[in-house]
A and B are shown apart, each in its own frame.
Chain A
Amino acid sequence: MKKYLVLLLVSIFAIGLLVGGCGPAEDVVDEVDDVTDELEDVVDGGQDLVIAIGAEPENLDPLKMMSAPAATVAEHMVETLIYLAVDGSLEPALAESWEPTEDGLAWDLMLREGVSFHDGSPFNAEAVKLNLDRFMGKGDFEGEAAVYAFLLSEVDEVEVVDEYLVRLHLNQEFAPIAAHLSHSFIGMHSPASLEALDAGQYVEAPVGTGAFKYAAWDRGEQIVMEKNEDYWGGAPELDTVTFKFVPEASSRVIMLETGEAHAIMAVPPTDIERLNDLEDIDVVFENSVRVIYMGFNMEDEKFEDVRVRQALNYAIDKEAIIATTFQGVGEPSSAPIVPAVFGYTKVGPYEYNPEMAMELLAEAGYADGFDIELFHPTGRYSQDATVTEAIQAMLAEVGINATLTTYDWGTYLDTVIVPPEQAEHDVYMLGWGTVTLDADYGLYALFHSSQWPPANNVSYYANADVDALLEEARVTPDRAVREALYSEAIELIWNDAPWIFLHNEGQVNAVRSNVKGLIHHPLENILAWDASIE
């Protein structure tokens, strides 16, 4: 009797496992089977591209997007009004042209005519207004703004002038607005698709105007997109593009070698040389938009003297750090922003010169050096802790004894981004990606004296001349004039040395040689609309 009871229980449990375990999964497996079959069908000569990336997008909603993988995937399906090209220039996309009104307090966007969303509805000024209002949390969408709503913080109102003309009214003159509108997170979605969302639901299957249409998203595995035959820019050559999410870097490399992926992002430094030697694989080096730096607490008396700050810049061998820690990927910072950013001027790098460093320190009255508290994150930026340890050793050579402190990222931000009277650190490590590729976002946010914590001028840097230049560059529409203003500001900042300028991060992708036309973007995107497989 008991035996049967036990048997019964065990079998119930087993059935439970099977039903609970396999039921929902079967659908997924079937779906995936279909996709896999399709993929296998076309491996011989088909135009089906597979790209393996490390992380999965959170979702594809302009309101909630905040990662590079989300931007990469979204850009294939959803377009922005203005496109930010690899060289940093702004090109027409859904807007054919844009210009400020005479007083500079509004911008007119002339829209491309004859464009349809993937659901067939027309792209027009009303659609633009709806998308922008939703992004800013204004008009009909009062309440919830996008994570990146600060990009449009100077926009007061979006006006529909006629079917293909939109006027953005600004709170004050704001020249970088065109660059900000080019941000991948401000994509144009079909109004119908946005209105169909339930409360609390966010876009996962975007309906845009892009070269590819959404096909499937198998969470934890892949997103599949198919060719948009009616694309206004001409249908792409590829039939499908699949982004696979492969967190382990060495697994991505293996997928590339076996041919399971045509391209991979973020090749681990240790594999670069080996992949370079393989005949059918090309390694692609591209800049990123992020600078890594050690900021000084300028309210600390040790760092009041500019010679001390410059001395510490001379004391660090940036070349050696890049060669050893990053296998040569990246470059020493030559300005507070990277070369890909509009407004960049080359003013550095500070050469490695420990003698000069010690001389400057002696001149400033610190011939015997001093002790500092150096705070740094661990695991947030590539090799952050290793870089910090190298810097600790180099500082010791010029008599500066650094005590290292590290925290979990959330705690770290809380500890470092504080008003001067709460600061525990003398020097801190942070990075900044100028994601708009416009100097305003890289310089104003970090060096303007109005941006002390809780904003991001964590060094408590204040220079009235720099403030004036940055303010003027914000409101000057002429790009050549802006460039000159930024050039002047960068020179001042560089000589004031509120940071130890370290390095610009690099990115390394790898592609099978038979794939042509992939775009490797400094914004850590890989873009496939012009790609084809030979």
Chain B
Amino acid sequence: MYGYIIRRLMLAVPVLIGVSILVFAIIRFIPGDPARAIAGVHASPEYIEQVRKELLLDEGLHVQYFVYMTNLLQGDMGRSTFTRRPVTVELAQRFPNTMILAVTAMGIAAVIGMSAGIVSATRRYSLFDNVSMLAALVGVAAPVFWLGVMFQILFSVNLGWLPSGGIGTWKHLILPALTLGLATAALIARITRSSMLEVLGQDYITTARSKGLVERVVIYKHAFKNALIPVVTVMGLQFGTLLGGAVLTETVFSWPGIGRLMVDSILTRDYPVVQGAVLLLAVFFVMINLVVDVIYAFLDPRINYGSKEVE
């Protein structure tokens, strides 16, 4: 197991180097002079020259990348060309907010999605099944920004229960987390349902039932745990999507997270921040994938990633 994790971590290194090269290159292949775009239409030629020097734009791409990586390895991601603050500080302030939002959204999604999925599977074709699966379809299809504005109108303007945006108390968290989590909840519900249905048709479930086990134990201990593998996969992948999907939610709800930071930075052509944020999200994505794989082994003892010493 340790061996596997270490191997996976080593494999992550080339992936991340690849990501860093890609982000670095994409930003620089945008035609036009980034210095001019950053400096703005009123800026003097001297100032544009100053920006160009600061971003090393006169050097070759390989030189720029080498300098960037050297600094990165020392924990220096440069300074934002917009706010002039260190990129690491910007990211460190925003990332926790996005994590809070994404984790809460995932919590909401898991609870709603799994319960709806299990009930739908055990009461197949019932009214509950049909209604919840229809709701799931709508949930998957509804655009986040539309859903967000609808929630604001209902809960903030009409009912006056919750703040329409910003960060602060737990009340501020509810609407954005719900908006962000509902699509994932819908997806989890659908996957849980189909996975449960497949497992419930297996011979060992019939065996368990014929042993005289109560239905609750059959469903939760025997069926659900085995049905979880595809659900966990989806949750893992979705967590990455949530971090990315937070871009829209954070904008609608003025949530000061990394998604909004990225949007703002793209609009102000703040290349160092865009680079840093994408890289950070990539690191996280790789980590989540690793954790998902480890959880597989926990859920299904037959998966052991080829190491023997832990048996």
Tell me the A residues contacting B by CB distance below 8 Å: 1-3, 5-7, 9-10, 13, 17, 20-25, 28-29, 32-33, 35-36, 55-56, 58-59, 61, 64, 66, 144-145, 147-150, 153, 200-202, 204, 218-222, 244-248, 250-251, 254-255, 257-258, 260, 407-415, 430, 432-433, 435, 454, 456
A251 close to B254 (CB less than 8 A):
yes
Q: Which of B37, B166, B291 contacts A13 (CB 8 A)?
A: B291
Q: Are A25 and B310 in contact (CB under 8 A)?
A: no
Contact of B44 among A149, A260, A430, A433 (CB under 8 A): A149
Total A-B residue pairs with C-beta atoms closer than 8 Å?
184
Pick from A58, A251, A414: contact of B36, CB under 8 Å: A414
Contact A33 B100 (CB under 8 A): no
Question: A251–B152 Cα gap in the complex (Å)?
Answer: 8
A-B contact pairs, 15 of them (CB 8 A): A10-B291, A23-B96, A24-B96, A36-B168, A58-B84, A66-B43, A150-B42, A220-B94, A244-B166, A246-B165, A248-B251, A255-B165, A410-B33, A410-B34, A432-B41
Q: Please provide the 4 A-B residue pairs with the shortest distance between their CB atoms, ordered closest to farther.
A: A220-B256, A410-B37, A411-B32, A25-B96
CA distance A153 to B45 in the complex (A): 13
Asked whether A413 lies within 8 Å of B254 as measured between CB atoms, the reply is no
> Which one of B66-74, B155-163, B188-196, B198-206 is at the interface?
B155-163
Min Cβ gap B23→A in Å is 17
Contact with A along B5-40 (1 / 0, CB 8 A): 100000000000000000000000011111011011
Partner of A260, one of B33, B85, B164, B169: B164
Identify B157's interface contact among A9, A254, A415, CB under 8 A. Answer: A254
> Which one of A3, A28, A56, A258 lies within 8 Å of B164 (CB-CB)?
A258
Using A25-B97, A200-B79, A258-B160 as known contacts, say yes or no to A150 and B291 having CB atoms under 8 A apart. Answer: no
- For residue B36, which residues in chain A have a CB less than 8 angstroms away from its CB? 410, 413-414
Q: Which residue of B lies closest to A250 (CB)?
A: B149
With A29-B168, A411-B30, A412-B32 in contact, do A59 and B260 touch (Cβ < 8 Å)?
Answer: no
Give the CA-CA distance A201 to B298 in the complex, in Å. Answer: 49
Contacts A408-B30, A409-B37: A2 and B310 contacting too (C-beta < 8 A)?
yes
Are B31 and A219 in contact, CB atoms less than 8 angstroms apart? no
Excluding A9-B291, A149-B47, A415-B32, 19 further A-B contacts by CB distance (< 8 Å) are A2-B1, A3-B298, A6-B295, A10-B295, A21-B99, A22-B100, A25-B96, A25-B97, A145-B47, A147-B43, A147-B47, A150-B44, A204-B85, A218-B256, A221-B254, A244-B254, A258-B157, A408-B31, A432-B41
**Cα(A36)–Cα(B85), bound, Å:** 26
B1 touches A5 (CB 8 A): yes
Least CB distance, B233 to chain A, in whole angstroms: 16
Q: Is the CB of B168 within 8 A of A255?
A: no
Supposing A6-B297, A247-B264 touch, asked if A22 and B1 sit within 8 A by C-beta, the answer is no
Contact B168 A247 (CB under 8 A): no
Q: How far apart are A369's CB and chain B's nearest CB, in angstroms?
A: 32
- Inter-chain contacts of A260 with B (CB < 8 A): 156, 163-166
Query: Is B42 in contact with A21, judged by CB distance below 8 angstroms?
Result: no
Determine the residue in chain B with the shortest Cβ distance to A34.
B168
Q: Which residue of A lies closest to B43 (CB)?
A: A147
For A248, give its contact among B40, B43, B252 (CB under 8 Å).
Answer: B252
A413–B41 touching, CB < 8 Å: yes
Q: Which residues of A contact B163 (CB under 8 A)?
A: 258, 260
- Report yes or no: B310 in contact with A5, Cβ–Cβ below 8 A: yes
Complex contacts, A6 vs chain B, CB 8 Å: 1, 294-295, 297-298
Q: Collect the chain A residues with CB atoms within 8 Å of residue B268's CB.
A: 58
Contacting pair B37 A413 (CB below 8 A): yes
Q: Does B126 contact A (CB under 8 A)?
A: no
CB–CB A247/B263 < 8 A:
yes
- A408 near B164 with CB under 8 A, answer no
Neighbouring B residues of A250 by C-beta, 8 Å? 149
Chain A residues with Cβ below 8 Å from B85 are 59, 204
Q: Within 8 Å of chain A (Cβ to Cβ): is B122?
A: no
**B286 on the interface (CB 8 Å rule)?**
no
B93 within 8 Å of A by Cβ?
yes
A198: min CB distance to chain B, Å: 11
Q: Which residues of B contact A222 (CB under 8 A)?
A: 166
Shortest CB distance A218–B (Å): 7
**B119 in the interface (beta carbon within 8 A):** no
Q: A16 — nearest CB in chain B belongs to which residue?
A: B287
Interface string of B239-252 (1 = CB under 8 A from A): 00000000000011
